[in-house]
């Protein structure tokens, strides 16, 4: 097959190519020859520069798919341009740079390759060499871009699946909390209110949004240990005997055992809350008589909002108190039962209308949805 036939075959293969080609050479004769070869092969999106100082300003707008770069140029030589181009090219991106040079000694090749050159074309140009190297480099770039696109698609799919699993996990936690709560609150909203109110107090006390959201998701499980308490005790409309009360108190350790040994942050937080939400600031609580800062902050916050919600809603064994009466009672117990800082923050956010008592409040961790 003759050289002319070879050129015709390459032109047929490349004719539909829409690649952006950038030529940088201070010799206009070299540019004219390269343009002629490439246009004849079907490439028409070609930009040529004789002044190397213009390369970087137009690089981002033109977005070349391949660059032909001379090494020996005034102002900024090819080696300097290689460094500049590679510094703005993402690592996952494949941008072929073909070096144009009459000096392709081993030292020159090594230096150019070490600074990011892809391949070399010797001067004077050989038509077939230019076309074949161009075609190969562009094909490689195309395959690399397809691989990057596939990886991004795979990452998106994994991220979507992760979100779905996260949503499913949180939904299961929510339903578990509701299932426990339905035993003595047929609306099932106590756990939602506790989680929502605990989150806003946590955030306003300076915890991060992530930590506050974690408390929102974990606090509803504070009474999960009630699954181990008989209905005859849990729903008893009269005062519990001492023995019954001791059994009722065991819901804290039962809940902690149910939630223990998890590697998930939300369940680790839930275990702390389940175990310690009946501890008291002065050390008179249960199950371990922890006091002050020994009690996890998540549990101290949950303890206050749990009691506030219990006081303001009717249960089989009690009538509902007014919100003002409930707040007054909690203030009275500040410093003995409750962390004074948490009590102060409850009063503050309540005054701002951010506490959910009977209706959904708008704050950063609720966003109009019942979580």
Question: pLDDT digit string (tens) for 333-350?
Answer: 999 999 999 999 999 999
Asked if 102 and 210 sit in the same domain, the reply is no
- Do 23 and 48 form a contact (C-beta atoms < 8 A)? yes
Asked if 334 and 223 sit in the same domain, the reply is yes
> In the listed set 113, 148, 183, which residue is the last one of a domain according to the structure?
148
Measure the CA–CA gap between 275 and 253, rounded to whole angstroms. Answer: 6
Q: Coil, strand or helix: which one is 285?
A: coil
pLDDT band of 364, cuts 50, 70, 90: low
Cα→Cα distances 41→12, 36, 96, Å? 8, 9, 19
Q: How confident is the model over 34-69, as pLDDT tens digits? A: 999 998 888 989 999 999 999 999 998 999 999 999
Whether 160 is covered by a domain: the verdict is: no
What tokens does 18 get?
């829409």
Q: Which of 136-145, 209-218, 268-277, 347-356 has the lowest average pLDDT?
A: 136-145
pLDDT at site 368: 37
Average pLDDT, the chain: 85
Asked if 185 and 250 sit in the same domain, the reply is yes
Number of separate domains in the chain: 2
Higher pLDDT, 132 or 176: 132
pTM over 0.85: no
Q: Can you name the residues that pair with 122 across neighbouring β-strands?
A: 101
Asked if 306 and 216 sit in the same domain, the reply is yes
Asked if 216 and 304 sit in the same domain, the reply is yes
CATH number at residue 43: 3.40.50.2300
Whether 153 is covered by a domain: the verdict is: no
Whether 370 is covered by a domain: the verdict is: no
Asked if 93 and 209 sit in the same domain, the reply is no
- Do 69 and 81 form a contact (C-beta atoms < 8 A)? yes
Structural domain boundaries, residue 14: 3-148
Asked if 135 and 209 sit in the same domain, the reply is no
Evaluate if residue 72 carries a pLDDT over 60.
yes
């Amino acid at each position: 097959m003759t050289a002319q036939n070879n050129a015709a075959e390459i032109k047929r293969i490349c004719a539909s190519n829409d690649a952006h080609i950038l030529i940088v050479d201070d010799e206009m004769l070299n540019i004219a020859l390269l343009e002629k070869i490439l246009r004849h092969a079907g490439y028409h999106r070609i930009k040529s520069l004789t002044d190397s100082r213009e390369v970087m300003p137009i690089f981002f707008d033109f977005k070349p798919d391949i660059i032909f770069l001379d090494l020996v140029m005034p102002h900024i030589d090819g080696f300097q341009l290689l460094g500049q181009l590679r510094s703005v090219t993402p690592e996952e991106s494949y941008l072929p740079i073909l070096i144009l040079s009459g000096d392709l000694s081993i030292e020159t090749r090594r230096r150019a390759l070490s600074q990011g050159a892809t391949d070399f074309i010797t001067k004077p140009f050989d038509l077939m060499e230019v076309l074949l190297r161009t075609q190969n480099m562009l094909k490689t770039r195309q395959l690399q871009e397809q691989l990057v696109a596939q990886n991004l698609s795979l990452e998106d799919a994994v991220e979507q699946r992760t979100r779905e699993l996260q949503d499913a996990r949180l939904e299961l936690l929510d339903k578990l909390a509701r299932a426990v709560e339905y035993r003595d609150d047929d609306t099932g909203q106590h756990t939602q209110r506790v989680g929502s109110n605990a989150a806003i107090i946590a955030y306003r006390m300076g915890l991060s949004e992530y930590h506050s959201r974690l408390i929102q998701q974990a606090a509803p499980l504070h009474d999960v240990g009630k699954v181990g308490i008989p209905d005859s005790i849990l729903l008893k409309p009269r005062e519990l005997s001492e023995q019954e009360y001791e059994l009722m108190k065991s819901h804290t350790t039962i809940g902690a055992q149910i939630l223990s040994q998890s590697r998930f942050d939300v369940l680790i937080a839930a275990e702390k809350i389940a175990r310690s939400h009946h501890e008291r600031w002065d050390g008179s609580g249960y199950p371990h008589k922890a006091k002050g800062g020994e009690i996890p902050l998540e549990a101290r916050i949950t303890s206050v909002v749990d009691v506030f919600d219990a006081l303001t809603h009717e249960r089989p064994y009690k009538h509902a108190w007014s919100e003002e009466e409930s707040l007054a009672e909690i203030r009275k117990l500040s410093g003995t039962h409750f962390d004074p800082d948490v009590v102060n923050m409850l009063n503050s956010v309540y005054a701002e209308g951010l506490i959910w008592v009977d209706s959904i409040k708008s704050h950063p961790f609720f966003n109009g949805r019942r979580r």
